[in-house]
Structure 1
Amino acid sequence: MRLYIVEISKYVIAILSCLFAMCGFIALKFKSEKKRAPIYALQIIMQVIILVLSFITIVLRTGNLNYIFYGIGIVLVLSSLLLLFSAFFPDGNKLIINNAAFLMMTSVIMLMRIDSGKALRQMIIAGVSIVAMFIVCEIVYKLPVLTNLTWAYAILGAVFLGIVLLCGSITNGSYISFTAFGVTFQPSEFVKLIFIFFLSCVLCRAATIKEALITFGVAMVYILILMMSRDLGASAILFIIYLAVLFVASRNPAYLLAGVGIGMVGAIAGFMLFRHVRVRVQAWLDPWSTIESTGYQLTQSLFGISSGGWFGLGLFKGNPQTIPYVEDDFIFSAIAEEFGIIYSISMILVVISMFLMMLFEASRLRDRWSKYIDCGIAVWLIFQTFLTVGGGSKFIPLTGVTLPLVSYGGTSLMVTMLSIGVFEATCLIRVDEHYEALERYRQAQAMSHDYQD
C-alpha cells in the first residue's frame, strides 16, 4: 500500500505542477485581479496538494516522522506570504506571489531531501525575506523621494562591489561573498537591484545619448569591479539588465546592437584573462573527456537530468549528492532527477509567466520610473534562470549563478523577494494611476454635462 501511494503521488505531483504553470498563462488573459481570483484559488489548492503529497512521500520513504514538522513549517511560511499579502496589499499582483510561493516550496522540499539543516535555514530566511518584502513594498509605494537618489544608488553599488573585491572570500575561483559577524553575504545580489534603481532614475527623465553614456559609464565601473572579482555571471546579468532597460527607455536598436558587440568583446576578454573561465568552457565543450576532473560536475548533472525521465525517480530515490554544489548551482538537475522533466519544465514555465506578467504590468504603467523598474526586474529574473538552467543542462557554459527562489542561499532569496516587493509597489502605483484616470474622466463628463445644461 505504501508503495502505491508513493508511486501515484509522483504522477499526481507532475500533473499538478503542469496545471499550476498553465494557470499562470491563463491569468495573463485577464487585466483585472478580480477576474483572476478563481485562477489564484485553484493555484493555491494545487500547491497545497503538491506540498502534502511531497511530505507524505518523504515520510514514507524515510520512516522519519520528524519531517512532518518541517512540512508544518513551510506551510506556515507560505501561508503567511499568501494570506498577509492579500490582507495588506489587496491591489497587488497575486500571480507573482503565488508563483514565488511555488518556487520557494520546491526549494524547501528539494533541500529537505538533500540537507535538512539547509532546508531549515532556507525556511527561516524565507520568513525573514517575506517580512522584508512587505516593508520594501510599503516604502517604495509611499516614498517618491526614491526616484531622486540617482547617484546615491550608483555610489552604494560601487561600495558594495568594492567591499567584496577587497575583503571577500574566494568561491569556485571568484570573489563573490563577504562574511561579517558570522553571516555571509553576496553583495552582487543587492547590486542588481540597486543598479536597476539607478538606471530607472536616470532614464525616466530622458533617454538621449547623454543618459546612455552616463549609465554605460556606471555599468562599466560595476562590470570592471566584477571582472576583477572574477564574478563573470553577475557581470553578465548586470550588462543584460542595462541593455534591456536602455532599449525600453530609448527604443533605439542601435544601442542594443552596440551592446551586443561590447558583450561579445567582454566574453572573449573574460575567456582570455581568467583560467577558471577557460576551464568551464572546456568542460562545456567536452565534459566527457575530463569526466574525472573538471567535467565531473557537469556530467553528473546531465546524468541526473536524464535519469529522472518525465515523472522523476521520486524523492529519496535519486542521487543528487553526487553533484558538487548541487543545492546552489545545480538544484535544477536534482529537481529533474527526482521530480521529473515535466515538473522541471513546469517550474521554468512558472518563471516565464512571472516574466510576462511583469512586462504586462510595466506596459500599463504611465510612470516611467516604475515601468523601467519592472522591466529591469523581469529581465533579471528570466536571464538568471536561463543562465542556471542552461549551465546545468549543457546549453551554455557554467556561470555559477543561483536559480531565483529555488537555489540554496540567503542573499539570493532575500534580494529576489525584495525585488518582488518593489514590483508589487509599482503595481499599487499603477492602480492609483487607474483610479486617477477614472476620476479625471468623471470630472470631464461632469463638466461636459454642466456645459450642455
Structure 2
Amino acid sequence: MVNVIVELSKFVILTLMVVYTFHCFYMVKQQSEEERNESLRQQLMLIFFMDFTAFLVIYLKTGKFQVVTFYAEMMVFFAGIQILYRMLYKKASILLLNNMCMLLSVGFIILCRLDVATATRQLIIVTAVNLVALAVPVLIRKMKFLKDLTWLYAGVGILLLGAVLVLARTSYGAKLSLMGIQPSEAIKITFVFFMAALLRRGADFRTVVQATIVAGLHVGILVLSRDLGSAVIFFAAYLVMVYVATKNVGYLALGLGGGAAGSVIAYHLFGHVRQRVSAWKDPMAVYQNEGYQIVQSLFAIGTGGWFGMGLCQGSPEKIPVVKNDFIFSAICEELGGIFGICLILVCMSFFLMIVNIALKIKKPFYKLIALGLGTEYAFQVFLTIGGATKFIPMTGVTLPLVSYGGSSVASTVLMLAIIQGLYILREDEDEEIERQRRKEAAQRAGKTAEAQGSGNF
C-alpha cells in the first residue's frame, strides 16, 4: 500500500508544481485585482497540498516522527511569514512572497528526505533571517542616506574578502568561510549597493574606471581565494550595471573580452580550475577522481527521467555535496525532469519580476540595485543548474533558497526583502504620480469652470 501511495504521490506533486508554475506566468496577463488575489490564494493552496503530500510520503517511507514535527514547524513558519507580510506591508508583492515559500518548500522537502537534522537547521536559519528581514522594506523606504555610503560599501566588501583570503582554511579547493560564515554571500549585497551608489548620478569615463577598479579588487580577491563561482556572479553584476548605467555597447564588449581572457588565465594558473574543466569535458575519463561528482549527478538525473523515481526511492546520497552544490540533481532523480524544468521556470519568474520592478522604478539608485540583485540571483541559478547538468563546468555555488547553506539562504532572503522594499517604493511612486495627475486634472477643471463663468458674466 505504501508503495502505491509513493508511486501516485509523484504524479500529484508534479501536477501541483506544473499548475503553480502556470499561475506564475498567467498572472502577468491578469488585469483584475480580484483575479490576481484569487490566483495568489490558489498558489498558497498548491504549496500546502504539495508539502502535505511530500511529507506524508517521507514519513511513510522513513517512519520517523521527526518528519511530522518538522512539517508542523515548517507550516507554522509559512503561515507566520504570510500573515506578517500582509499585516505590515499592504503594498508588498505577494507573488514574490509565494515564490519564496515555494522554493523554500522544495528545498525543505529534499533536505528532509536526505537528513531531517539538516532540514531543521535550515528551517531555524530561515526563520531567524526572515524575522530580521521583515524590517528591511521599511528601512529601504526610510533610510534615504543609503545612496551616500558609496565607499563604505566598497571598503567593507574588500576588507571582508581580504580577511577570508588571509585567514580562512581551504575547503573543497577554495577559501570560503570564516567561523562557519561565508562573507562573500553578504558582500554580494554591499557590492550591488556600491555600484548603484557610484553610478546613480551618471556614468562618465572616470566613474566607470572607479567602478572597474573596485570590481576588479572584489573579483581578484575571490579568484585568489579560488571562489570562482562568486567571482563570476560579481563580474556579471558589474557588467550589467555598468552597461545599464552607460548604455555603451563598447563597455559591454570590453567586459566580455576581459572576462574571457581572465578565464583563460585562471585555467593556466590554478590546477583547481583545470580539474573542473577536465571533469566537464569528459567526466567518464576521470570518473575515479574529479569526474565522480558530475557523473553521479548525471546518473541521478537520467535515472529520474521525466517523472522521477518518487520520494525516498532514489539514491541521491551517492552524490558528493548533494545538499549544497548538487541538490538540483537530487530533485530531478526523485521528483522528475519535468519538476526540475518547472523549478527553473519559477526561478525565471522570480528574475522577471525583479527586472519588471527595476524597469518601473524612476530613481536610478533603486533601479540599479534591483537590476544588480536580479542579475546575481539569475547567474547563481544558472551556475548551479548548469554545473549539475554538465552544461558548464562546476563552480561550487548553491541553488538560492533550495540548497542547504546558512550564509547563502540568509543572503538570498535579505536580497528578496530589499526587492520587496523596492516594490513598495515603486507602488509609492505610482501613487504619487496618480495624485499629481488628479491634482492637475482638478486644476484644469477649475480653470475651465472659471473661464466659462467669466464668459457667461
- The one-character-per-residue Cα deviations of 1:144-196 (angstroms, maximum 9, x if unpaired) are 111111111010111110111111121111111111xxxx1101111111110
After superposition, the Cα gap between the structure-2 partners of 1:410 and 1:174, relative to the gap in structure 1 and judged at 3 Å, is same
Distance in 1 between the 2:63 and 2:162 partners? 49
Task: Give the gaps of 5 or more residues in structure 2.
Answer: 451-457
Q: Structure 2 matches for 1:92-111, cutoff 5 A?
A: 92-111=92-111
Conservation of the 8 A alpha-carbon contact between 1:390 and 1:396? yes
Q: Please name the residue that 2:369 is paired with.
A: 373
Q: Which residue of 1 aligns with 2:306?
A: 310
* 1:135 equivalent in structure 2: 135
1:6-85, aligned counterparts within 5 Å? 6-30=6-30, 35-85=35-85
The CA deviation at 1:34 is: 5.8
Matched, 1:325 2:321: yes
Distance 1:237 1:33 in 2: 36
* Bigger Cα displacement from structure 2, 108-117 vs 30-39: 30-39
Write the distance in 2 (CA, Å) between the matches of 1:31 and 1:364: 17
Alignment correspondent of 2:455: none
Residues 52-451 of structure 1: matches in 2 within 5 Å?
52-179=52-179, 184-451=180-447
* Cα deviation, residue 108, structure 1: 1.1
Q: Deviations over 1:349-398 (max 9, x none)?
A: 10000100111111111111111111111111111100000001100000
The structure with the largest alpha-carbon Rg is 2
CA distance in 1 between partners of 2:216 and 2:32 (Å): 40
- Contact map agreement 1:16 1:46 (CA 8 A) in 2: yes
Secondary structure at 1:316 match in 2: coil
SS of aligned partner of 1:178: coil
Distance 1:35 1:202 in 2: 41
Instruction: For residue 336 of structure 1, give the secondary structure of its aligned residue in structure 2.
Output: helix
CA contact (8 A) 2:66 2:116 kept: no
Q: Is the 8 A contact 2:6 2:311 kept in 1?
A: no
Tell me the distance in 2 between the aligned counterparts of 1:90 and 1:418: 19
- Cα RMSD, aligned residues only: 1.2
CA contact (8 A) 1:362 1:370 kept: yes
Mind listing any 5+ residue stretches in structure 1 that lack a counterpart? none
Size of the alignment, in residue pairs?
A: 449
Which whole-Å CA distance do the structure 1 matches of 2:40 and 2:326 have between them?
30
- Alignment partner of 1:185: what SS? coil
* Residues in 2 aligned to 1:96 and 1:373: alpha-carbon distance in whole angstroms: 17
8 Å Cα contact 1:77-1:126 kept in structure 2: no
The answer (yes or no) to whether the contact 1:329–1:407 under 8 Å persists in 2 is yes
Worse-superposed segment, 330-339 or 70-79: 70-79
Contact 2:55 2:68 in 1 (8 A): yes
Q: Per-residue deviation at 1:32?
A: 7.5
Change (3 A) 1:144 1:450: same
Partners of 1:228 and 1:200 in 2: CA distance? 26
Deviation at 1:338?
0.7
2:177 counterpart SS class: strand
% of aligned pairs identical? Answer: 37
Secondary structure at 1:313 match in 2: coil
TM-score normalised over the length of structure 1: 0.97
- Tell me: CA distance 1:199–1:35, structure 2 relative to 1, closer, same or farther (3 Å): farther
Deviates more, 1:377-386 or 1:21-30: 21-30
Give, in whole Å, the separation in 2 of the partners of 1:150 and 1:118: 38
TM-score normalised to the size of structure 2?
A: 0.96
What whole-Å deviation, never above 9, does each CA across 1:192-235 have from its counterpart, x for those lacking one? 11110011111111122222111111100111111111111111
